[in-house]
Amino acid sequence: MRAFLDLGHEVIAMAPPDAYADKLEKLGCRFIPLSMVPSSRNPWNEMRAMFAYFRTYRRLHPVMVFHFTTKCNLYGSFVARILGIPYVNNVAGLGRAFDSRNVFDLLVRHIYRFTQSGARRVFFQNQSDFARLTIKGGVSPERAEVIPGSGVDLKHFQPHSRPPSDTFTFVYAGRILWEKGFPYLPEAMKLLRINKPKVECLIFGFTDERDPKCVPLKTLRVWETQGLIRYRGPLEDVREAYSQADCLVLPSFYREGIPRSLLEGAAMSKPIVATDWVGCREVVTDGVNGYLCRIKDAQSLADTMLKMVEAGKQKQLEMGAFGRMLMERHFDEKIILEKYLDILSTL
């Protein structure tokens, strides 16, 4: 958005209103609140969201729309295609709708194929999603491209080495979702402590009591009481979380693009323990800048975390350094920015 503004474009941001709306306006964007509940499957809520897109797009008729996240890619693209507005989509993971067989998700997949096939460009964040939608999803390979996730600001996220400590600290940073690996992480910590009592796991991030996909705060507090984790809540500057880590941990089985926390942590030269799963394995090369474990397997996770602890400080530093080099070569946010600017130059 900042790059578009610097080129003299008017930039309008549409999203459900939250604390970041003011930041977008201070940046120079015009913010339009969007009536949409991200986690809702209520037909009435979804129709309201669709009409909100229709009213706004018809009134503004922008020269191009850039969509991000599943519902925006779905509803925004549907409306843009009907109104003849050029649009570009960023597929930051296909989500659970593409792994389910219920009627609602089958309908979502059909609409998704229709909307993506009309996009000026479709960016994917991993090869798995690219293959799935270009082979069976209606997206022409000529208009599709894999990009390195959302990229990472290498100036903002600088290498950091935690001072020596008797306690080895794992850090999880992100949304507190069941599909991000809970409760396998607390169970793995219980198993890990059998061999390594001086380990801890700090949890940073948001949870939402209204969302069944989120781990309830009371459950986090139970695990905390049991000494398995330490929940630290959300942070304004996530670098504070990474700076406390000897290693990042993400036991995710969520079908996302590329987890941003892994990019940011790697940019700060942190070794990683993650699952051998879509998105995670795009960032972690097993044995090089981290270790991969099996999904939905607390014992495999515990064994992999133990392997990281026993690797020793020198190996951990080498892994962190390789992760930083990987970010510099392949995941710099400037790479993504150039892709978007190239598309704008065709207008």
Do 88 and 188 share a domain, yes or no? no
Do 54 and 140 share a domain, yes or no? yes
pLDDT at position 24 is 94
Structural domain of 232: 168-330
DSSP letter string, 273-304: EEESSTTTTTTPPBTTTEEEE-TT-HHHHHHH
Cα distance between residue 30 and residue 133, in whole Å: 33
Closest CA to 25 of 13, 37, 41, 34: 13
> Is residue 156 in a domain?
no
What is the rounded (10 degree) CA torsion for 132, 133, 135, 138?
A: 160
> Is residue 91 in a domain?
yes
Cα distance between residue 81 and residue 74, in whole Å: 11
> Is residue 161 in a domain?
no
**73: three-class secondary structure by DSSP:** helix
Do 64 and 147 share a domain, yes or no? yes
pLDDT surpasses 60 at 126: yes
pLDDT at position 136 is 65
Give start and end residues of each alpha helix (H) in 196-238: 217-225
Quick: pLDDT tens for 196-230: 999 999 999 999 888 888 999 999 999 999 999 99
**Torsions phi, psi of 283, nearest 5?**
-105, -40
| Percent residues over pLDDT 90 in the chain | 69
Specify the range with the lowest mean pLDDT, choosing from 316-320, 324-328, 340-344. Answer: 340-344
pLDDT at position 98 is 58
Do 130 and 67 share a domain, yes or no? yes
Q: Strand order of the sheet with strand 87-91?
A: 65-68, 87-91, 121-124, 144-146
Do 118 and 181 share a domain, yes or no? no
- Helices 260-267, 313-330: crossing angle, 10 deg rounding: 110
> Is residue 262 in a domain?
yes
Q: Which two tokens stand for residue 284?
A: 């972690």
> Is residue 157 in a domain?
no
pLDDT surpasses 90 at 132: no
pLDDT surpasses 70 at 108: no
pLDDT surpasses 80 at 41: no
Q: Which two tokens stand for residue 125?
A: 């964040």
Do 260 and 289 share a domain, yes or no? yes
Do 83 and 173 share a domain, yes or no? no
Quick: pLDDT tens for 231-277: 999 998 999 999 999 999 999 998 888 999 999 999 999 999 999 99
CATH of the domain at 99: 3.40.50.2000
Do 141 and 183 share a domain, yes or no? no
Do 59 and 208 share a domain, yes or no? no
Do 222 and 293 share a domain, yes or no? yes
Say which residue, 302 or 20, is predicted with more confidence: 302
> Is residue 132 in a domain?
yes
> Is residue 162 in a domain?
no
Q: What is the arithmetic mean of pLDDT over 150-166? A: 93
Say how many domains are in the chain. Answer: 2
Do 147 and 251 share a domain, yes or no? no
> Is residue 158 in a domain?
no
Do 191 and 173 share a domain, yes or no? yes
pLDDT at position 100 is 58
The CB density around residue 225, as the number of other CB atoms within 10 Å, is 9
What is the rounded (10 degree) CA torsion for 266, 270, 272, 278?
A: -10
